[in-house]
Chain A
């Protein structure tokens, strides 16, 4: 258990470290022209990172034990299908979330 001063210093260190990671590219390319390669990468990074964030959300799924990630994959399928069909972000997100909460809380896949 840290005392008040230790705790405040620790929080300051964590805050500084976090801000550093976020500010790094802006500090580095603030005064110089980014390389040409970066311009191409820049455009392709957001779609790649977003899909990686989806995959990241599945990082703790136990694929080899019941229910084998089926609630997650099933709900993602529903969200994606709904969004391709209606393209209404709110509808896709909330339908998916409510569906997932029901699936998990009522343990729908307990038969597996």
Chain B
């Protein structure tokens, strides 16, 4: 590093700073993923599988609820088709995450496939809410956040699978750190975006889905429902805008007509006034 000259060193330092910022950003996820990952590893261990599978799954699948589902299906002796369909359905919400990242991820370079692969709920929340530090590389910053979160998840699940039965930590309630993270990021969204309707849509769609759907399906259901509400509202706004424009056109047309009538009236009046003296004259002569 030193023999590469000062310029390179400066860039290295900047990288270090960027990494530190990314690490600080992901600390809540670290504290959430360790206990959650441990719970997964512990379950997989309990189902009779070697800890290496916890490592492989967390490395290549990397989906919290998806991996819990997999353990349940493994214990139930499900077939491959069931694994595929259940996973697709459970994780389909992620397709909506990508929809709002199309622009952010365009031109991000060779880390894009990895960022797409590593798009968990928590990473999505961080990427959509955290600003990239000024004059830093967006792709590096995003990559650090995604990779750190991934690392925490792997570490937690291996820890849980290898030591879960040995350790007796009381981590009850610790995964609430992720709820708190989502609450804080929601408030940050509230500050950074002027739109208020998305929150109303979320409360409506969320409450309805809690009532109508099982807890396993409610997230996907509520995201679909909420998106439909957003689309519906957008369409109705566009419709009223069109109506208003049409009304404006009609009003100008009307006012033009009125203007015309007025002009005609004025004309008649001026004719009247020009006739008046003549009439007066006739009256006088008579």
A interface with B by C-beta (< 8 Å): 1-2, 7-26, 29, 34, 37-38, 40-60, 72, 75-76, 79-80, 83-84, 87, 89-90, 92-94, 96-97, 100-101, 103-105
A38 to B99, CA, bound (A): 8
20 contacts between A and B (CB under 8 A): A14-B70, A14-B84, A17-B84, A21-B93, A22-B116, A23-B98, A26-B105, A37-B235, A40-B230, A40-B234, A42-B102, A45-B227, A47-B199, A48-B198, A49-B100, A52-B219, A54-B186, A55-B207, A79-B183, A80-B187
Contact A9 B80 (CB under 8 A): yes
Contact A50 B186 (CB under 8 A): yes
Contact B182 A57 (CB under 8 A): yes
Which listed residue, A21, A53, A104, touches B173 by the CB 8 Å rule?
A104
Contact A52/B223 with A18-B66, A21-B88, A46-B129 known, Cβ cut-off 8 Å: yes
Q: Does B284 contact A (CB under 8 A)?
A: no
Taking the closest CB of chain A, its distance from the CB of B232, in whole angstroms, is 11
Give the bracket for the number of chain B residues in contact with chain A.
35 or more
Contact A17/B183 with A7-B49, A57-B178, A93-B28 known, Cβ cut-off 8 Å: no
Contact B74 A10 (CB under 8 A): yes
Contact A14 B61 (CB under 8 A): yes
Q: Does B38 contact A (CB under 8 A)?
A: no
Taking the closest CB of chain B, its distance from the CB of A16, in whole angstroms, is 8
A44 to B174, CA, bound (A): 30
Taking the closest CB of chain B, its distance from the CB of A1, in whole angstroms, is 6
A83 to B125, CA, bound (A): 17
Contact B206 A52 (CB under 8 A): yes
Contact A25/B230 with A44-B198, A97-B180 known, Cβ cut-off 8 Å: no
Contact B186 A47 (CB under 8 A): yes
Interface string of B54-91 (1 = CB under 8 A from A): 00110011110011001000100000100110011001
Q: Does B193 contact A (CB under 8 A)?
A: yes
Contact B179 A59 (CB under 8 A): no
Give the residues in chain B near A92, CB-CB below 8 Å. Answer: 180, 183-184
Q: Which 7 A-B pairs have the closest CB atoms?
A: A25-B98, A55-B206, A51-B202, A45-B100, A17-B87, A48-B198, A104-B173
Contact A57 B179 (CB under 8 A): yes
Taking the closest CB of chain B, its distance from the CB of A103, in whole angstroms, is 7
A25 to B119, CA, bound (A): 12
Q: Does B240 contact A (CB under 8 A)?
A: no
Given contacts A7-B49, A23-B117, A43-B193, 6 further A-B contacts (CB under 8 A): A7-B53, A13-B87, A18-B91, A24-B98, A25-B99, A41-B99
Give the residues in chain A near B176, CB-CB below 8 Å. Answer: 57, 72, 75, 96-97, 100-101
Contact B177 A93 (CB under 8 A): yes
Residue among B99, B199, B219, B235 with most chain A CB within 10 A: B99
Give the residues in chain B near A34, CB-CB below 8 Å. Answer: 102
Which listed residue, A14, A44, A72, A96, touches B57 by the CB 8 Å rule?
A14
A102 to B49, CA, bound (A): 33
Taking the closest CB of chain A, its distance from the CB of B122, in whole angstroms, is 9
Q: Does B246 contact A (CB under 8 A)?
A: no
Give the residues in chain B near A72, CB-CB below 8 Å. Answer: 176, 179
Q: Does B103 contact A (CB under 8 A)?
A: yes
Give the residues in chain B near A103, CB-CB below 8 Å. Answer: 173
Taking the closest CB of chain B, its distance from the CB of A87, in whole angstroms, is 8
Residue among A20, A42, A53, A59 with most chain B CB within 10 A: A53
Contact A43 B195 (CB under 8 A): yes
Q: Does B255 contact A (CB under 8 A)?
A: no
Contact A25 B102 (CB under 8 A): yes
Give the residues in chain B near A25, CB-CB below 8 Å. Answer: 95-96, 98-99, 101-102
